[in-house]
Structure 1
Amino acid sequence: MPATKSAKSSVKSSPTTSAAKSAKATAASPAAKPAAKRATAAAGKTVKASAAPTPAKAATKKVSSVSEKQRLSQAELLKAADALLNAGAPKKRAAKKSEAADEETPVKAKAATKTAAKAKTAKAEEDKPKASRKTAAAKTSKAKAKDKGDEDIDDTDFSDIEEDIAGDSEEDIAGDSEEVVETSTPSSDAPTEKVKPLRMKVSKAKERALMKEFGLDEAVLTEEEMSTRRQRLKALIKLGKTRGYLTNAEISDHLPDKLVDAETLEVVISMLNDMGVAVYEQTPDAETLLLNNTGQSATTEEEAEEEAEAALSTVDSEFGRTTDPVRMYMREMGTVELLTREGEIEIAKRIEGGLQDMMLAISASPATIAEILAMGEEIREGKVVISTVVDGFSDADENDDYVAEEDFDEYDEEDDDDGKGGSKALTKKLEELKNEALSRFAKLQSLFEQLHAAYDKSGYGSPQYTKVQDQLSAELMTIRFTAKTIEKLCDMLREQVDSVRQKERALRKIIVEKCGLPQEKFIQLFPANLLNLQWIEKEAQAGNSWSAIMGRNIPPVQELQQNLIDLQARVVVPLDELKLINKRMNDGERASRNAKKEMIEANLRLVISIAKKYTNRGLQFLDLIQEGNIGLMKAVDKFEYRRGYKFSTYATWWIRQAITRSIADQARTIRIPVHMIETINKMNRISRQHLQEFGFEPDASILAEKMEIPEDKIRKIMKIAKEPISMETPIGDDDDSHLGDFIEDSANTAPVDAAMQAGLRDVVKDILDGLTPREAKVLRMRFGIEMSTDHTLEEVGKQFDVTRERIRQIEAKALRKLKHPSRSDKLRSFI
């Protein structure tokens, strides 16, 4: 025993032990495996050379006493023998239970204890012969290794267990002070992988940062602020109880800034009114105080303290509550944890499983199969695009494994085709999808005909019918229909079930409410006789209290029953089976809907992060969130987890598309087409780049050159891009004038022109009054002054009963008089 301890201490204190540990730790990386191999081999040799042989007592009958050096060599050779005998298969070790071995050979006892914890008792008994054979093989390998020398020992000992050394942890190497070299062969039980969490927690710091970014951070008062608010509220209540009134300005001055908002002020004013303190906008006069019976009252410090505490508790309780919809939305959104990649896969599988359950349920209805075949015929004729009906295909033995997103990070120029190349690739893909879908629809058609033949020959539910139905359902499950197609098929089945229930309710109303048949008896008798036309006649002749009334209602009851018989003939399956199909379909739809809801709620933060980039573009923040959520729901419907991308990568495009489309449709008062919005954005982007580069705004010619668009079209785009402005827009700080007041009214005469015309009219009248009445009248008629129109010489001559020449002479004489400076100077200012 002392010799054994001495050997152990010498091995433990040897510097080669740290070299072995270092070699094992370094071997964890693939690049360091050769170096680790050499370092570990050298450490093993040094340990063998330095360890002195020490006798030890036998632990079991099968294992003899060996020296420390031999035990170390045997442990290493045992690993090599296990690798050679099992050819890479999982190795097993026998469980050795012995108290003596635990006392005298601690190394072996600990190894046996660790092995016994992993292996089962029954398997341990069966593995004992194998263990003995492994020991013999190890001894043989040891002998051969000694003949070959140290180099052969190096290769034999470590080449086959290199991966085992790389997989060991440093804690296993340095875990036990006495166990320097441990014979750790791989256990038959595979190491259990750690289950990855499906949701990740978001730190409170990030939540507070998000709330603060949008101005939604909760107003949390510190202890000092709470004390200050309490003192101010006490002073406010004391002032109000003393004077009997307060003003809004005094309330605002006494409350902290974090409490001065509309809701809190309303609560405080209501609380003061309950105390008998009136609140006014301005300081009231004596008459108002007398009319309102508001007078001064003596209030002690204790009363003020009590009133302040009661008021403070009221304000605190109301202050914690909020009616701000954005803050409420943020708070509720923060209660849902984010999804990990595994969580997204799990929910996507649940969504897909729900849809498959729905398809499996409705595939049991021949009417649904007939509708699917009708869709296939429309696809074959070109009436319907294949992408609106079928998403893809899935084999029955399809692996649910997904490709990691990192595998798709490399850029592929062929995938980034645009223009005609991308269109051709898409057309080719759709053509392949159509051909494959038509071939599968042809198989469905063949199986459906076999199902029809089995129904005609053996009836519904026969073994032959069931066999063909299972084949038909299995073939149908290989086609992945779009969500709209599945919804259409489900709606058709729902309409059939709703029709059945509507007629059943009508029958119950007639038989129970009108004829008087007890509800319990109706539930007991009628379901089995739902399609029995003679049941109503038998009940009418049964001589019960309700039989007479039932006899008068035989025609409407039998008519409804005949409608149910015709409906069952159309849907082929019995009505009870139709209800079960509908129940299974609803269960699958419920599971899919719940999974979609979880996916949507877990990704609401993504909508917020995208929507905040589109603020100040004509829509409010809540509207942007709403439109982004609509895009998120579309992304959930169309997400395919097998492609390997994370959901956020896929959903970002849909959310951004929904937000930008809503801005284009709703932001402007006068709607502009989406393609024109894109052109305007492109023009604005080029204009900003030009301004940053050259320092001035580009004109239409520069924009036309850079955008490769005609200049006249650029001018039209610039005209369209202008935002409409309301004429009621206030101008100035007083808000007493509007923009419409400064717009010229071209339909009416300007005030300056009106004043000029009025002055000219007065001067002309004054000048004409200085002429003789005959001359003044001739001039007025010739030039249309104060008349609707002017007159010719002939017309004026007839008026005065003179010739045209005489009227011309009178006109010339009157004009010479007007040219006199005494009269013409008055008209000179109007020229």
Structure 2
Amino acid sequence: MPVSKSEKSKQAPAASAKPKTSKTSASTAAPIKASPSKPAVKKSAAAAADAKKDTTVVTKSQAELKAMADALLAQATPKRSRKKAEDDDTAASPAAAKKTVAKKAPAAKKAAAVKAPAASADADKAPAKRGRKPKAKDADEGMDDADLSDIDSDLEGEVEEEVATGAAAAPAEKVKPLRMKISKAKERALMKEFGLDETVLTEDELNTRRQRLKMLIKLGKTRGYLTHAEINDHLPDKLVDAETLEVVVSMLNDMGVAVYEQTPDAETLLLNNTGQSAATEEEAEEAAEAALSTVDSEFGRTTDPVRMYMREMGTVELLTREGEIEIAKRIEGGLMDMMEAISASPATIAEILNMSEEIREGKVVITTVVDGFVNANENDDYVAEEDFDEYDEEDDDDGKGGSKALTKKLEELKNEALTRFDNMREQFDKMHKVYDKEGYGTEAYMKVQKAITEQLMTIRFTAKTIEKLCDLVRAQVDDVRKKERELRKIIVDKCGMSQEQFIKDFPPNLLNKEWVIKQVAAGKPYSAVLERNIPPVQELQQNLIDLQARVVVPLDELKSINKRMNNGERASRYAKKEMIEANLRLVISIAKKYTNRGLQFLDLIQEGNIGLMKAVDKFEYRRGYKFSTYATWWIRQAITRSIADQARTIRIPVHMIETINKMNRISRQHLQEFGFEPDASILAAKMEIPEDKIRKIMKIAKEPISMETPIGDDDDSHLGDFIEDGNNTAPIDAAMQAGLRDVVKDILDGLTPREAKVLRMRFGIEMSTDHTLEEVGKQFDVTRERIRQIEAKALRKLKHPSRSDKLRSFIDSL
């Protein structure tokens, strides 16, 4: 009679053990046998044909098996031990794994035909292996003579095999790599881009280099000198460059080995005393070993901070999409742990409700407190396709439509947040009533607190808000620990109680003010000193009691909240660090596009990294975008804002920079459409801004230029040489003033001394100031009238053509 594989595998244990049954129900086993999604079992070509031909027989045998199993389950048959079942499962797991591999093969029928002998051999080698019946025909023919006690075992074996195979197949289908594997060509390009292509040696090359350097040092120490050709011959090809040669030559010189361009003659060696520095073989061996450690640290070392940053950044592997989601979940999990911990503190809830009132009154913008909301029904594993629009440089400003849409979204966010805060306030008031009536930790109190926590977890707060709430809890815990340290200082350091006894007795009595009195009454060696310190100890205990009343929760629970909060913060911080380090290359690639715009490359990288950190804080993996897609916007925004804020010598506000960029964009569009630059009136009409404001913007938009800008091809003159200095007299004006001064002096010398002096004093010529008639009269001791007559006579003389013609040429220039 033909015997199936499963029956063969059961014959060995059946001979040495009693027949055993399992309580696996036939109603569970039957659907599993008939399930179309079961892993395929390796069969030979003939077995596959028989199974296809006898489908009805399988259905019939399933019904019979169900009836027999129900009958067997009614009997009090001892169950199979768990250890035996585990051993059988372990023995069956290789076959299940092979079946899974057979299912995934591209040509299943060919593989089944080829691997059938191997499967039969495996079954013969492992007779204790349990499994389902592979052939329906064999099972039907051997039904009359089969051992009924093993029917339930067969059913249980099928269930276990199904579960084991499904468990083995599920991870293989779901688990995806979290780090991106970069192709060799791309890896070389990245290494070259980030400065990592310097002196990259394998382990064998490192050993070869050490041996060659050792030989080189021994040769140099033995002879006392080396040549550049010998150094080149002893170094690997990857290390022969100017910098490496300089390191090696410097090291050899420090060791007393001279290095020459060519082999020196005996006279040169004698003149340089090279022969005297030659060492023995043993000394050369020791010197070579000592120098190798220095050489290993010198090769490939760089002190350039940029190259060091690039090199360290390039060692971090890129993340796949699954890796980004996994890290984002860790970040979110850490933040959720923090919020769940601090939500157990009523003082924190009160602070959140105070923030909600400030939002309602308009004192605080909603986006500074709340980022969004978490949908509890949303699938965490949802990852949509990247259905985003490509970034357009022209879409920096959406105009009034974009502002209205943004305002509407902010209003919706504010209304939804206030609704949730109002619900939270109702629960908080209810918790106060329960606390006043029943106290902390009762069933009703914990029920209300759980409801508040669930509502709080649906709100996604900003990173700054979470940090502020955490600082509130930290301040409370720090206050508790500070007072505990003061108590320990008084009781242990000042009074003399042992540290062990303090740790044992005091923590349970932290708030018990009678404890210190009992310790004084105990008559211990420190009791006398402790009696004098009862007031400060009880005062600190009263402070702790007041603090507990403020925070509502017990102090031990407050410390537990702080511990859970710190654990969540630590997990979130490590995940953020991992996400940031994996995306530093994205910042470099974006920053390269903004060079030569007024900021140095390192400044652009720094600002881009700040934007990257903000992107990590605000990334929502449930939206379906890749992190790089989301972070690109933040990085670009941070870089462009920094250029607008820091690039100009004369700082212009960022909002004015945006207006200037918009004006320039409209001007370029007008030039492309009409072929000429728009004037202020056209720009005013298109931008819907008054024309005078457009003129001010155009004036502000002018870039400053250095006065040291060279002019001409010779670079011997600068722009500053051609700018007029309004504080100094122009050369032509100075020449005319000098000519006028000489002419006036000549014509005054043609008058009498008295007349010339009167005119000089009256008009301030060659004097610091002019004088009145009375001042001049006192000078000459005459009346004012007489001075007026002398002045008039002198002026008439000057009007004579012989004198006035000399002054007439200066009239037009004055």
TM over 0.5: yes
For normalisation by structure 2, the TM-score amounts to: 0.67
Kept after mapping to 1: 8 A contact 2:356/2:421 = yes
Amino acid in the other structure paired with 1:585:
M
Amino acid in the other structure paired with 1:588:
G
1:197-236 aligned at under 5 Å gives the runs 197-203=177-183, 205-210=185-190, 212-213=192-193, 218=198
Q: Who is 2:100 aligned against?
A: none
Task: Quote how far apart the aligned CAs of 1:388 are.
Answer: 3.8
> What is the CA–CA distance in structure 1 between the aligned matches of 2:408 and 2:791, rounded to whole Å?
95
CA distance 1:781–1:395, change in 2 (3 Å): closer
Task: Quote how far apart the aligned CAs of 1:197 are.
Answer: 0.9
Amino acid in the other structure paired with 2:580:
I
CA distance 1:814–1:438, change in 2 (3 Å): closer
Q: Unaligned 5+ residue runs, structure 1?
A: 1-56, 64-84, 115-124, 134-166, 243-255, 279-294
> What is the CA–CA distance in structure 2 between the aligned matches of 1:410 and 1:828, rounded to whole Å?
73
Q: Who is 2:468 aligned against?
A: 488
Q: Which of the residues 378, 384, 388 maps onto 1:404?
A: 384
Q: Who is 1:812 aligned against?
A: 796
Q: Which moved more, 1:757-766 or 1:327-336?
A: 757-766
> What is the CA–CA distance in structure 2 between the aligned matches of 1:216 and 1:168, rounded to whole Å?
40
Are residues 1:478 and 2:458 paired?
Answer: yes
2:198 alignment partner, SS class = coil
Amino acid in the other structure paired with 1:749:
T
> What is the CA–CA distance in structure 2 between the aligned matches of 1:216 and 1:722, rounded to whole Å?
42
Q: Who is 1:22 aligned against?
A: none
2:460 alignment partner, SS class = strand
Deviations 1:348-369 (A, max 9, x none): 1111111111122122222223
> What is the CA–CA distance in structure 1 between the aligned matches of 2:246 and 2:625, rounded to whole Å?
51
1:405 alignment partner, SS class = coil
Q: How many residue pairs were aligned?
A: 661
Deviations 1:537-568 (A, max 9, x none): 22223333222221111111110000001111
1:374-453 aligned at under 5 Å gives the runs 374-380=354-360, 383-394=363-374, 396-406=376-386, 422=402, 425-453=405-433
> What is the CA–CA distance in structure 1 between the aligned matches of 2:198 and 2:252, rounded to whole Å?
23
Q: Unaligned 5+ residue runs, structure 2?
A: 8-29, 53-57, 67-102, 117-133, 137-157, 226-237, 260-269
Task: Quote how far apart the aligned CAs of 1:502 are.
Answer: 0.7
Task: Quote how far apart the aligned CAs of 1:719 are.
Answer: 2.9
> What is the CA–CA distance in structure 2 between the aligned matches of 1:374 and 1:828, rounded to whole Å?
81
CA distance 1:533–1:695, change in 2 (3 Å): same
Q: Which of the residues 490, 496, 500 maps onto 2:480?
A: 500
> What is the CA–CA distance in structure 2 between the aligned matches of 1:828 and 1:616, rounded to whole Å?
55
Q: Report percent identity of matched pairs.
A: 72
Q: Who is 1:548 aligned against?
A: 528
CA distance 1:453–1:762, change in 2 (3 Å): closer
Deviations 1:749-797 (A, max 9, x none): 3455445534543454345435442443355346543234557889878
Task: Quote how far apart the aligned CAs of 1:741 are.
Answer: 5.9
1:678-757 aligned at under 5 Å gives the runs 678-685=658-665, 712-726=692-706, 743-757=723-737
> What is the CA–CA distance in structure 2 between the aligned matches of 1:816 and 1:436, rounded to whole Å?
98
Task: Quote how far apart the aligned CAs of 1:722 are.
Answer: 3.1
> What is the CA–CA distance in structure 2 between the aligned matches of 1:410 and 1:816, rounded to whole Å?
89
Kept after mapping to 2: 8 A contact 1:818/1:824 = no
Are residues 1:367 and 2:347 paired?
Answer: yes
Kept after mapping to 1: 8 A contact 2:598/2:643 = yes
CA distance 1:214–1:445, change in 2 (3 Å): closer
Q: Which of the residues 575, 597, 608 maps onto 1:595?
A: 575
Q: Who is 1:284 aligned against?
A: none
Amino acid in the other structure paired with 2:567:
D
Q: Who is 1:174 aligned against?
A: 110
Kept after mapping to 1: 8 A contact 2:777/2:787 = yes
CA distance 1:487–1:807, change in 2 (3 Å): closer
> What is the CA–CA distance in structure 2 between the aligned matches of 1:739 and 1:267, rounded to whole Å?
50
CA distance 1:793–1:358, change in 2 (3 Å): closer
* Higher RCO (Cα < 8 Å, 6 or more apart): 2
Task: Quote how far apart the aligned CAs of 1:499 are.
Answer: 0.8
Q: Who is 2:597 aligned against?
A: 617
Q: Who is 1:604 aligned against?
A: 584
1:294-313 aligned at under 5 Å gives the runs 297=272, 299=274
Deviations 1:106-153 (A, max 9, x none): 634588999xxxxxxxxxx999545999xxxxxxxxxxxxxxxxxxxx
1:651 alignment partner, SS class = helix
1:607 alignment partner, SS class = helix
> What is the CA–CA distance in structure 1 between the aligned matches of 2:744 and 2:756, rounded to whole Å?
10
> What is the CA–CA distance in structure 2 between the aligned matches of 1:352 and 1:127, rounded to whole Å?
53
Task: Quote how far apart the aligned CAs of 1:452 are.
Answer: 3.4
Q: Who is 1:196 aligned against?
A: 176
Kept after mapping to 2: 8 A contact 1:794/1:804 = no
Amino acid in the other structure paired with 2:107:
E
Task: Quote how far apart the aligned CAs of 1:501 are.
Answer: 0.5
> What is the CA–CA distance in structure 1 between the aligned matches of 2:557 and 2:349, rounded to whole Å?
16
Q: Who is 1:90 aligned against?
A: 35
Kept after mapping to 2: 8 A contact 1:402/1:644 = yes
Are residues 1:107 and 2:87 paired?
Answer: no
Deviations 1:671-693 (A, max 9, x none): 10112212333444556667788
1:336 alignment partner, SS class = coil
Amino acid in the other structure paired with 2:272:
S
1:29-428 aligned at under 5 Å gives the runs 90-91=35-36, 107-108=45-46, 129=62, 170-175=106-111, 191-192=169-170, 193-203=173-183, 205-210=185-190, 212-213=192-193, 218=198, 297=272, 299=274, 318-380=298-360, 383-394=363-374, 396-406=376-386, 422=402, 425-428=405-408
> What is the CA–CA distance in structure 2 between the aligned matches of 1:512 and 1:533, rounded to whole Å?
17
Deviations 1:592-631 (A, max 9, x none): 1111111111111111111111111111111111111111
Q: Who is 1:577 aligned against?
A: 557
1:174 alignment partner, SS class = helix
Deviations 1:158-186 (A, max 9, x none): xxxxxxxxx99652143366899x999x9
Q: Who is 2:439 aligned against?
A: 459
Deviations 1:789-827 (A, max 9, x none): 557889878866547556534443355384399x88999
Task: Quote how far apart the aligned CAs of 1:694 are.
Answer: 8.7
